[in-house]
Amino acid sequence: MPIDCEQLAIQYYFGDLQYWKLPRIAADALEEGYDGPALRRLAGLAIQGSSVIRAEDIGAHDVDSAFCEMGVNAPITKDQAG
């Protein structure tokens, strides 16, 4: 099933999506044909062999950029989500 990039972004920016899920989401996005440097960096965290992904491992700029590479106008504000 295709990922809903906009819905994932809304969930992330409003605290309903945990940061440690982002590397797997980025890998899934790459598999679906999205591409870009931020997606590749985040997806790389999923395959580094470490089972623990810390918040410090994921930069806010990379998250914003990754969502943009998936076609989302990120970051999303509460007004935009409504």
Q: What is the pLDDT of residues 6-50, one digit of tens each?
A: 999 999 998 899 988 999 999 999 999 999 999 999 999 887 655
Q: In the chain, how many domains are there?
A: 1
Q: Which amino acid is present at 3?
A: I
Whether 79 has a pLDDT exceeding 80, the answer reads no
Q: Helix 22-31 and helix 37-46: axis angle, to 10°? A: 120
Q: What integer pLDDT is reported at residue 52 of this predicted model?
A: 74
Nearest Cα to Cα of residue 64 among 54, 51, 78, 77: 77
Q: Is 35 exposed, middle or buried (0-12, 13-18, 19+ CB in 10 A)?
A: exposed
Identify the domain containing residue 55 by its residue range. 5-81
